[in-house]
Amino acid sequence: MAPALSDLGGTVQTAYRAMARAFAQAKFETPQSDARFLLQGLLQRPAADIVLGEEIPLTADEIIRLQAAVRRRLASEPVSRILGLRSFYGRDFIITPDVLDPRPDTETVIDAALELARSIDVPADQLRIADIGVGSGAILLTLLAKLPQARGVGTDVSPGALAVARRNAERLGLADRLELVETDVLDGVGGVLHIVVSNPPYIASGDIQMLSEDVRRYDPRLALDGGPDGLATYRKISSNIKKLYPDTAVAVEVGAGQAETVKGLLVSALEGRGKVESRLWKDFGGHIRCVTVKRHS
């Protein structure tokens, strides 16, 4: 049960305390952070106002909006979903039910792709990056922001996801360097691609029911389900990249225990037309999160 309207009190700080207490009782891992971020996002106030705002009154409308947010959070809906925004690599991205909620671990793919970009012998204004399963655009748009002369193409089978990526591109001022294509993997995408990135669906179909409730209920299944063994999209990617520009480099996110298998698929796809280098990248938690493969013609 969400706290009653009276329990939220009449100020920002009393609401913060009541919300943090409710989230702690619900056994959430970060009750205070959840309360603070919800209050910041819904009230558009700085963090200092949230924890020190004893004298900042709440309007009746604000209390009603906070109450609705508390009910949603207590139903395990992530804070980012409630606010419709996720911070990723220093930028805020719109998220909707059509797209995966990007996690901090995925920032490893950014680091890996930027390293690949530095190693590629191509003029900065000719660099072209493709993102398979672009979703919200978090990966591709971050790379375009960090590589201000590069161009990108994002593919997705979901029209709703492509619409979200377009909105984020427009908000970030990157739409003029972005092409979005409704397709599976890279089917129908022409031209030279120097870097291919992806955070594909990699959960085995039978394991989805064991995911945490906030993922299972609120992330689109299309962005989670990687087929019977979780590797279906990696096989498609491997098949597609055989036809690419000889020096194409690839950076993909992987799930637990998948790195060596995925590396093998990608290396096999690129072999035979030059030397192939591969690398495994760890996330902040020390888990292997990304595989990169690069071919030299």
Query: Concatenated DSSP letters for 210-229?
Result: GS-HHHHHHS-GGGTB--TT
Sign of CA dihedral 25, 27, 32, 38: negative
**Cα 287 from Cα 281, distance rounded (Å):** 8
Closest to 132 (Cα-Cα) out of 264, 266, 271, 256: 266
Q: Are 24 and 43 in contact (CB under 8 A)?
A: no
Q: Are 267 and 250 in contact (CB under 8 A)?
A: no
Q: Are 89 and 107 in contact (CB under 8 A)?
A: yes
Helix (H, G, I), strand (E, B) or coil at 197: strand
32-67 confidence digits (pLDDT tens): 999 999 999 999 988 888 877 678 899 999 999 999
pLDDT given at position 53: 66
- Using 50, 70 and 90 to split pLDDT, how confident is the model at 180? very high
83-119 confidence digits (pLDDT tens): 999 999 999 999 999 999 999 999 999 999 999 999 9
Q: Report residue 14: phi and psi, to 5°.
A: -65, -35
- Using 50, 70 and 90 to split pLDDT, how confident is the model at 4? very low
The average pLDDT across 23-39 equals 95
